[in-house]
Structure 1
Amino acid sequence: MRLLFSIAALTLVSAAPPVAQQPVQYTLAPEVSGGNITALRVQVRFRADPSGTTDFRWDDGWSGERHLWQWARDVKVQGATGVEQSNDGHWRIRAAPDASLTVTYRIVSAYDHDPTVEDSEQARPVVRPGWFYAAGNALFGFPAGREKAPVTFDWTGASGIGFASDLEHLAGRTRAALRPGTVADALESIVIGGHDLRTFPARDGSGVRVATIGSYAFTPEQLDRLARRVVAVERDFWRTDRGAPFLVTAAPLVGNPAVMSFGGTGRGDAFALWVDHRAPLDRMKWLLAHEYFHSWNPARLGTMPEDRDARPAHYWFSEGFTDYYARALMVRAGVISPAEFAAQWNEMLAAYAGSPVRTLTGAQAASAFWDNDAAQKLAYQRGALLAAIWNRRLLEASGGRTNLDTVMLAQLAAARTSDGYATDIFRRLAARSGLSVDDDEARHLARGEPILLPADTFGSCATIVTEQRPSFSRGFDAEATAAAGNVVIGVDPGHPAYAAGLRNGMKILERTEGEPDNALVPYGLLVEDQGAKRTIRYLPQGKERVSVQQMQTTRASDRQCGQTLGGMASATLG
């Protein structure tokens, strides 16, 4: 009996694990010519499928890009008996069952210039002579069906080229893992590097690293300090992840004189920022808070539809609630002042009031989401407005003891053991706390009725007022002008811009003043006209008038007011 048991045990130990459980090994290196980075070389090692045919492929799509394999060149396979490439980003590899396979390829740049604010599609890899930036979705192919397989990663860099990635949190040949990782983690990664990469290691016990390329209106040290503070605030809110590894990256965008642009995306245990080199540090507060909140919402609060066209109907929660908390948590912690909090809300409220798609039904907004910037913003706006309203209702119904935080923290716990969409879990837990959201969803999210904030939405420190103001209009076709290299197109002869001297054919060199969607603040443009430069200043007002809700603070900017504006429950305030 013992002998038989020992033989069986020995057989179990020595048997090879199934292919799906064997690690996929990634290695990344830069290709350099004459000191310039020309491409990124990827090596993927794995075992062949038992069927004899392995499908090597790219992710189906991410961030609006469906053809993520299109930047791969010179795909080669070692260990195969045959390889067939299809037109849909799949390489079908024939090999002996469980054979060792090595796929190598080059990733080239999606751009032949430094990315601008018009080029800020984060799915597309950037490889410039001095730096590179890429999301794992476009960088890494993988054997189909192995998304849950363990993964290792190594960077084999060249001298003088810095590198940073959340893939460094995973195991490598000479590196112990800071956390377990799978192929899915490799796809949801970010890599950045270059000759002037600045890195700030995690030496404060937070686990947070920061890496930046290029120059901005703020120093890398300022971004590092701000990022660590924002991360600490949100970890305290969720009561999780203290000390967990996390990476913040920043890549530069060349600005457009007519607009300022910055954005980011959450990448599991990292978030990646694309930042206009003119954007001030204050603008980074909201952006960092928004992107880091995505570490939980929706990833740990439930699932989202896999179908790309179905997801926009759920963005009111994943994006709108994230917008709400990006402002609420920062004012509670004093990262932004009550005045900054009001200014951020007022900017959004003005944009919502003037939105050309404000009354789209839910189905119409979802259908337009991927092709219409205003429709994309609508999901953020509607979700944030409803979050503020529902927070207030919970406070009032509970006598100040329960707020939206109560539901969100309960959802974090529930989602660990519950399957289902994050929106469905939220509805169920909100109802358990005495908040029914069905009527609001039907009116505002499904039918598209405008959302109006009650005057006391933010408590005793602020009131919501309604103003009648002119609609916001630049007086020219901004999109056509940007597409024409900032040469002015479509000036309205009846607009204040024309009266101030703006004409078609002038080249905009810089916007010197003005606020997005604010018709009451003067707009200034430095233009070049027949070789001469001059500044044109006017009020960006259209012919129509719109009703705009605005927040007015009513009490001194003390800490108690920051917590009240941030929607905290009295039990938490104590």
Structure 2
Amino acid sequence: MRLLLSIAALSLSTAASPTRLEPVHYTLAPEMSGDELTGLRIQVSFRADPSGVTDFRWDDGWSGERRLWQWTRDLKVAGATIVERRDGGHWQIRAVPGANLTVSYRVVSAYDHDPTVEDTEQARPVVRPRWFYAAGNALFGFPGGREAVPATFDWIGTPGIGFASDLEHLAGRSRSALRSGTIADALESIVIGGRDLQTFSAHDGSGVRVATIGRYAFTPEQLNALARQVIAVERDFWRTGRRAPFLVTAAPIVGDPTVMSMGGTGRGDAFALWVDQRTPLERMKWLLAHEYFHTWNSARLGTMPQDRKTRPAHYWFSEGFTDYYARALMVRAGLISPADFAAQWNEMLAAYAGSPVRTLSGPQAASAFWENDAAQKLAYQRGALLAAIWNRKLLEASGGRVNLDTVMHAQLATARTSGEYATDLFRQMANRKGLDIAADEARYLEGGEPILLPADTFGACATIVTNQRPSFSRGFDAEATAAAGNVVTGVDPRLPAYVAGLRDGMKIVERTEGETDNASVPYGLRVEDNGVKRIIRYLPQGLSRVSVQEVKINQLNDRQCRKTLSGMAGGTSP
């Protein structure tokens, strides 16, 4: 949690106070070679520590990346007497106490190619000849110990290079602030720009801006309209004002023929999207809803552990509950149909049923989180499943008057004056509303027992059915195939893919149909075989069988169904 300076800070000694409270000023500019972008230039201006020794450093880590300074080049300090580079992304600056210092350096790209679905590490800066995209954690160093000190920012532009960032919400040399900001806010920022940047201003009074670079399966105008719809729905849910400054950015990733990828990360008063250029607009609804919900969860619902080893044990709440509400709020508002709602849940339920780590204990899952994709998904899956179950328990115990929304709103009010973990606060708020989650935590989150949804989890509008079905298998080694440049590797002669004609050495051009983790729908691959292109179609079934739950929509009118599916309590407006 980012802590604001308290009134007690004013009682610091007069020697320390001016240095500690005087704003740190950041500037960012594109570095060009002819017409092409080659890097980003940063300047950081601040006062030296009263001791005469200032520790200029980078954040300890973010999004799995521990060496956030590694793309920094040519660091220089104006106003210093001695600058020594230390381990771990630290520079020790010696100067006259309180002297004006300006640190300047370049940040280069982490990639020498357009990012692909294999390159979705959001911590790594992207600088391509025509565009750039980077998170503040990797861009901005800072004088150590001053994360809560005010920060200002200016973009030093170049003709033809567009720019957008939530840093523009802070004050600049000649720009008034839309909100107060600190060094911590600069670290939690996103920047995007380039020759093809398209931006949409907050013309509707919402404070929302949208900025996109590159081309997608949808137009920038469609993304802009959808983002504003989703944001309005979630602001209404939290009963907050509609005028807060907020930025949505989208950067492209080059897709893989066999998989489609999209992702995002919340950045305080922004969220940043990486989107496969084949992703349809319909798939963006869930992603937008998920990422914007992070504006509250867990940022305003309590703190999270700073230690990356212990933090994953709390993701069932921050990520899993966010998944649950992404679906619930979209169907409640009519942005997705009941059938779409069921399809989204069924995709997740199939992935959970086939997860190779489904029965990991809590400590095992947390330990594996950063190294195992399936373990990462497990936190999302478990949290969403428990949110649905607990919502139903609250409704039943209260006669339909109290639901999960009730607990979340109570938690939001309490968290404003509490420094407790969001998971601890939820536990307390749920208890006050009559829900004791201790037994479920012990069984499912700590013990790793598989979670099964009760048949009436989503009320009278849907039924949860459990079936036995074949496990999902593409019929070949997907990782080895991707590593070989999508040349098919490791085809299993016992499986349907082989029977349909798939062989090692064929080149996959694209996936034409099918769903990951769904063995019941056909899988289609367009392949090149000795110069001839053809489609191979088969059921992606493995040798084992798994128990898979599925949401079946019953025949109810659409309005009532949307309210019931989203778990609304009596008296809650749709």
Secondary structure at the counterpart of residue 29 of structure 1 = strand
- Give the aligned residue type for 2:346: N
Q: How far off its partner does 1:573 sit?
A: 4.3
Contact in 2 for aligned 1:338/1:557 (Cα 8 Å): no
Matched, 1:447 2:443: no
Secondary structure at the counterpart of residue 236 of structure 1 = helix
Matched, 1:396 2:393: no
Q: Where does residue 370 of structure 1 map in the other structure?
A: 370
Q: Where does residue 379 of structure 1 map in the other structure?
A: 379
Q: How far off its partner does 1:87 sit?
A: 2.7
Q: Where does residue 515 of structure 1 map in the other structure?
A: 515
Matched, 1:271 2:266: no
Q: Where does residue 487 of structure 2 map in the other structure?
A: 487
CA distance in 1, matches of 2:412, 2:150: 25
Contact in 1 for aligned 2:15/2:50 (Cα 8 Å): no
- Give the aligned residue type for 2:97: P
Per-residue Cα deviation, 1:39-74 (whole angstroms, up to 9, x for no partner): 000000000001111000000000000000000000
Percent identity, please.
79
CA distance in 2, matches of 1:189, 1:412: 23
Q: Which runs of 5+ in 1 are unaligned?
A: 1-11
Q: Where does residue 3 of structure 1 map in the other structure?
A: none
Q: How far off its partner does 1:382 sit?
A: 0.2
Contact in 2 for aligned 1:42/1:104 (Cα 8 Å): yes
Q: Which runs of 5+ in 2 are unaligned?
A: 1-11
Q: Where does residue 8 of structure 2 map in the other structure?
A: none
- After superposition, where does 1:221-370 map in structure 2 within 5 Å? 221-370=221-370
Q: How far off its partner does 1:360 sit?
A: 0.4
- Give the aligned residue type for 1:243: R
Q: Where does residue 202 of structure 1 map in the other structure?
A: 202
Per-residue Cα deviation, 1:158-190 (whole angstroms, up to 9, x for no partner): 000000000000000111000000000000000
Secondary structure at the counterpart of residue 18 of structure 1 = helix
CA distance in 1, matches of 2:64, 2:278: 26
Contact in 1 for aligned 2:393/2:435 (Cα 8 Å): yes
- Give the aligned residue type for 1:332: R
Q: Where does residue 458 of structure 1 map in the other structure?
A: 458
Per-residue Cα deviation, 1:251-301 (whole angstroms, up to 9, x for no partner): 000000011100000000000000000000011000000000000000111
Q: What is the TM-score with the length of structure 2 in the denominator?
A: 0.97
Q: Where does residue 98 of structure 1 map in the other structure?
A: 98
- Give the aligned residue type for 2:145: G
Report the number of matched residues: 562
Secondary structure at the counterpart of residue 370 of structure 2 = helix
**Runs of 4+ with >3 A deviation:** 14-17
CA distance in 2, matches of 1:560, 1:246: 32
Contact in 2 for aligned 1:337/1:557 (Cα 8 Å): no
- Give the aligned residue type for 1:475: G
CA distance in 1, matches of 2:309, 2:525: 39
CA distance in 1, matches of 2:16, 2:349: 60
CA distance in 1, matches of 2:52, 2:485: 53
CA distance in 1, matches of 2:366, 2:310: 8
Contact in 2 for aligned 1:468/1:546 (Cα 8 Å): yes
CA distance in 1, matches of 2:241, 2:418: 21
Q: How far off its partner does 1:18 sit?
A: 2.6
CA distance in 2, matches of 1:461, 1:238: 25
CA distance in 2, matches of 1:477, 1:557: 45
Matched, 1:407 2:407: yes
Q: How far off its partner does 1:468 sit?
A: 1.1
Q: Where does residue 217 of structure 2 map in the other structure?
A: 217
Q: How far off its partner does 1:241 sit?
A: 3.8
CA distance in 1, matches of 2:518, 2:62: 33
Q: Where does residue 178 of structure 1 map in the other structure?
A: 178
Q: Where does residue 4 of structure 1 map in the other structure?
A: none
Contact in 1 for aligned 2:353/2:546 (Cα 8 Å): yes
Secondary structure at the counterpart of residue 387 of structure 1 = helix
Q: How far off its partner does 1:557 sit?
A: 4.9
Per-residue Cα deviation, 1:506-543 (whole angstroms, up to 9, x for no partner): 11110000011110111011111122211111110001
Per-residue Cα deviation, 1:440-495 (whole angstroms, up to 9, x for no partner): 00000000000000000001100000111111000011111111111111110111
Q: How far off its partner does 1:556 sit?
A: 3.5
CA distance in 2, matches of 1:252, 1:481: 23
CA distance in 2, matches of 1:379, 1:188: 23
Q: What is the TM-score with the length of structure 1 in the denominator?
A: 0.97
Contact in 2 for aligned 1:400/1:571 (Cα 8 Å): no
Q: How far off its partner does 1:16 sit?
A: 9.0
Q: Where does residue 3 of structure 2 map in the other structure?
A: none
Secondary structure at the counterpart of residue 118 of structure 2 = helix
CA distance in 1, matches of 2:265, 2:137: 13
Q: CA RMSD in A?
A: 1.2
Matched, 1:74 2:74: yes
- After superposition, where does 1:1-20 map in structure 2 within 5 Å? 17-20=17-20
Secondary structure at the counterpart of residue 51 of structure 1 = coil
Q: How far off its partner does 1:17 sit?
A: 4.2
Secondary structure at the counterpart of residue 203 of structure 1 = coil
CA distance in 1, matches of 2:491, 2:309: 36
Per-residue Cα deviation, 1:385-414 (whole angstroms, up to 9, x for no partner): 000000000000111010000100000000
Q: Where does residue 474 of structure 1 map in the other structure?
A: 474
Q: Where does residue 5 of structure 1 map in the other structure?
A: none
- Give the aligned residue type for 2:278: R
